[in-house]
Amino acid sequence: MLRRFFTIVCLAMLTLHAGCGQVATNDKQAKAGFIRIFNGKDLAGWETSGGAKWVVEDGFLVGTQGDNYAHGDLFTKDTYKDFLLTTTYRVKWPCNTGIWFRYQSPSKTYQADILEYKNPECYSGSLYCPGKMFIAMNKDKTLVDRDGWNTMKVRAEGDHIQIWLNGRQVADVHDDTTYSGKIGFQVHPGEQFGPMKIIVREMLLKPL
């Protein structure tokens, strides 16, 4: 009876842990300290803002504009300070989206951009900060797989922020705008981005 009781308690604790979005992917990743903040099943642990549409389809997180080209965001309910975040994604172009991190408000946040910007010229992996615009720019468009999966890594530790796109470092800066906050995604407004779609396969986070 005692063993059965402890088994039930352990299963309940694991269920609660998963409900918060903190689900380890496998033994190897768990031992390395990584957690899976998107569980591949639903939006548990996440919350929406704005009129964009966010759904889970075939194990993928999918974001598109809402009615009348409405924009919006998707955020974790939890906040994070220092971490290494790895996100595997692909997009449908034209698009303007990105990975929010250390998000506290629309004016106090960072975004690892997923876009093609003309003036100044920069591409996915550029680091955006409201009020400061791009504080690091990826000008090498060949790093972007426009039709396939891409892997974006963000390391935030104190005021030191680094970004890698498909294995190549594209940002390495020091900035003190914000030191903690939510992680999320953006869907930009406007008819020109009507066809856009952000599709996320996996998000792994390791607290530092």
Confidence of residue 13 (pLDDT cuts 50, 70, 90): very low
> How much is the pLDDT for 29?
66
Q: In this structure, is residue 70 part of a structural domain?
A: yes
Enter the pTM of the model: 0.84
Task: With respect to residue 30, please indicate whether it lies within any of the assigned structural domains.
Answer: yes
The yes-or-no verdict on residue 17 having pLDDT over 50 is: no
Task: Report the CATH number that the domain containing residue 175 is assigned in CATH.
Answer: 2.60.120.560
Relative to beta strand 83-92, strand 160-165 is: unpaired
Does any domain span residue 141? yes
Does residue 96 belong to any structural domain of this protein? yes
Our count of domains for the chain comes to 1
Has residue 19 been placed in a domain?
Answer: no
Q: What distance lies between CA 109 and its chain's CA centroid? A: 13
State the pLDDT at residue 47: 98
Domain of residue 136 covers: 24-207
Q: What is the mean pLDDT of residues 50-69?
A: 96
pLDDT attached to residue 98:
97
pLDDT tens-digit series, residues 70-128: 999 999 999 999 999 999 999 999 999 999 999 999 999 999 999 999 999 999 999 99
**Considering only CA atoms, which of 106, 103, 102, 110 is closest in space to residue 127?**
110
What do you get for the CA distance between the two ends of the chain, in Å?
A: 40
Is the pLDDT at 2 greater than 50? The verdict is no
3 is a domain residue: no
Mean pLDDT in the chain? 89
Position 22 pLDDT exceeds 70: no
Closest among 63, 163, 49 to 113, alpha carbons compared: 163
Residue 6 domain-assigned?
no
| pLDDT 10s digits, 123-160 | 999 999 999 999 999 999 999 999 999 999 999 999 99
Does residue 18 belong to any structural domain of this protein? no
- Only one residue has tokens 């009129």, namely 51
So what's the pLDDT on residue 146?
Answer: 95
Peptide bond into 120 cis (omega under 30): yes
